Amino acid sequence: MKKSSKIILSVLVVAVVLFGTYRIVNKAPSTSLDSNAQMAEIIESSGCMACHTANPQLPFYANFPFAGKLVKEDIRLAYRSFDMDPMMEALKKGKKSVK
């Protein structure tokens, strides 16, 4: 095989693997759930709550000297601008709005 076709082939293989991973990781919630439960599932699986809440579950690297500072600053800013806890509570209780 020529060198250029090997490169093209490897790019294709990588693209297919990435596409497959994306399809496996990003699944739409089951349509048998009501719309609130679907929304809650999307938010939970997207990791939004890692930053947009007062008491997030910190990742293991949150206590590392340099990375930890960045993580905590992200959480501080995210929580200050948008606390998602009330929204999650409302979704779980099946309410349409926080108020």
CB neighbours of 49 closer than 8 A, spacing ≥ 6?
43, 56, 57, 84, 88
Q: What six digits make up the tokens of 5?
A: 């076709």
Q: Is 82 in the site for ligand HEC (CB under 6 A)?
A: yes
Q: Is 77 in the site for ligand HEC (CB under 6 A)?
A: yes
Q: Judged by CB, which is closer to ligand HEC: 13, or 83? A: 83
On whether the CB atoms of residues 43 and 88 are closer than 8 A, the answer is yes
Near ligand HEC in 8-67, by CB under 6 A: 46-48, 50-52
In the complex, which residues of this chain contact ligand HEC (CB under 6 A)?
Answer: 46-48, 50-52, 74, 77-78, 81-82
